Amino acid sequence: MFTMTDSTAARAATTPTAEVDAWAAEHSDRALRNVIGHLRHAPIDAVTLWLEQACRNGLGMWLVPPDPAQGDRGIRPATHMVEISVLGVIGRGATVEEATRSWRRAALNLTAEGGA
């Protein structure tokens, strides 16, 4: 069984992985604060467009289940919910608008902008 000694723990805390993790956390937080500063009072349609474009640019994930009534025959999703994940914040809802509102609420709660 491996037991971490004080010197091993000290080295682990200064590895490139730890440095990258710290850098990513700091920059992700800064990016989220910048984004929510612009989107806090934006119309929900503008927030939706921004989130969709962010996902297209690789900053997140946009999952909308297929709608058989509209002829969509995509892969059967694990849920009927819309899910948006950008900058580590997840929003869910029955519709894209609800998921967008959920994302913005969560982002506000994670930043000082939300008064938290």
CA separation for the pair 81, 92 (Å, rounded): 6
pLDDT of residue 43: 96
For the purposes of burial, counting CB atoms within 10 Å of the CB of 103, is it exposed (0-12), middle (13-18) or buried (19 or more)? Answer: buried
The mean-pLDDT minimum among 22-26, 45-49, 71-75, 90-94 falls in 71-75
CA separation for the pair 94, 98 (Å, rounded): 6
pLDDT at 15 over 80: no
pTM flag (> 0.85): no
| pLDDT, tens digit, 9 for 90 and up, residues 36-64 | 888 999 999 999 999 999 999 998 999 98
DSSP string, 67-84: -GGGT---PPPS-SSEEE
CA separation for the pair 46, 58 (Å, rounded): 19
Question: Among the ranges 28-37, 54-63, 72-81, 95-104, which has the highest mean pLDDT value?
Answer: 95-104
